[in-house]
Amino acid sequence: MRQFQSKKVKYPYFEGWYFKHQCGNNTLAFIPALHTDKKGRCSASVQVITDKGAWYFPFHADSFEVDRERFCVKIGANSFSKKGININLENEEVSISGEISYGCFEEIHGDIMGPFCWVPFMQCRHSVLSMYHRTAGALYINDKRLPMDGVGYIEGDRGCSFPKRYLWTQSILNESRGDSIMLSVADIPLWGVHFRGCICSIYYKRKEYRLATYKGCRILKYGAGKVLVKQGKYLLCVTNKKNGGHPYSLHAPDSGQMTRMIKENPSCTMRYQFWRGKEKLFDVTSCNASFEKVCCTEKKIAENSKKVLQKQH
């Protein structure tokens, strides 16, 4: 294992991964991360979000290791890799343990950021490691067994902060065939200007459809839980049906520190409609979709961070 720290990394900095698991009506995600503030002080964490609650587990930076060539992350007694995860977490509220193994990853072609992956000074860079894979195993949450023989999805983020305004959603649309979707629309600051960018990967019938700003994608509608984007002959409409599920608070990076609080609904009802010209490729309403919509001003983020820091100390 190689330590994360690198002379090429400039502070503040964070890097984290989102491991999502879905089995029937049960949805569970783990977010292992390393974060470094402006002064170079490092810490690590593992977050857990389920249909029933969310928990944050802080760790010392020395407990974090990563092997990038094989993609293996370790934090304390917890490991996350292409082969699966091994969990051993406990605090005053909850204990979580068990193992989940993974099948072959359905990977996208190239970097989801496209040419933006080479642009310096990006606030946040997104990655998609697996649009779909089979999962097997079980976890124990407070001694209650939770079977995880289902499907999974993995993505990652790195940079200094999450965008102050963004929408993100992900869902496995067809478990048996492996259809999956990820969409993110975000306010992107770059070189003193702001623009609204879009990245989207649709894995449908074993083929990837990529919609992105760098490919000419235009955002026709954004707001009130609905997004409409168009790229050439392709049109995607995503709607939050606002029924089912409950949003939970998660820690998010702000200048390298996990002091910003955002809301994520790990399992809500979303409708995904996708056209190629006049042909509707699919119209799926998913009850197990993950969804975040964050609208924060810089002032609110600063106030939020101050409150979290006060609680930590």
- pLDDT for residue 6: 45
Cα-only R_g, the chain: 19
Give the pair of three-digit tokens for residue 116.
């933006």
- pLDDT for residue 298: 47
pLDDT at 154 over 80: yes
pLDDT at 261 over 90: yes
pLDDT band for position 29 (cuts 50, 70, 90): very high
Identity of the residue numbered 54: A
CA distance 287 to 271: 9
Q: 171 vs 20, 105, 191, 273, CA distance in Å?
A: 10, 16, 33, 13
- pLDDT for residue 245: 76
Average pLDDT, the chain: 91
- pLDDT for residue 11: 83
- pLDDT for residue 297: 52
pLDDT band for position 193 (cuts 50, 70, 90): confident
Q: 166 vs 170, 256, 268, 295, CA distance in Å?
A: 14, 18, 18, 7
Beta-carbon neighbour count of residue 68 at 10 Å?
Answer: 9
Which segments of the chain does DSSP mark as H helices, in order?
298-312
Residue 227 burial (10 A CB sphere; 0-12, 13-18, 19+): buried
Nearest to 161 by CA among 266, 271, 258: 258
- Tell me which DSSP letter residue 214 carries: G
Sequential DSSP letters for 255-275: TTEEEEEEEEEEEEEEEEEEE
Instruction: Quick: pLDDT tens for 71-100.
Output: 999 999 999 999 999 999 999 999 999 999
Nearest to 189 by CA among 155, 159, 157, 217: 159
CA distance 162 to 258: 10
CA distance 151 to 257: 31
7 or 27, which is more confident? 27
How confident is the model over 5-17, as a mean pLDDT? 75
pLDDT at 190 over 70: yes
pLDDT at 28 over 70: yes
- pLDDT for residue 299: 46
pLDDT at 62 over 70: yes
pLDDT at 8 over 70: no
Specify the pairing of strand 218-223 against strand 234-240.
unpaired
Q: What percent of the chain has pLDDT over 70?
A: 91
CA distance 89 to 10: 30
Q: How far is CA 102 from the centre of its chain?
A: 18
pLDDT band for position 107 (cuts 50, 70, 90): very high
- pLDDT for residue 280: 98
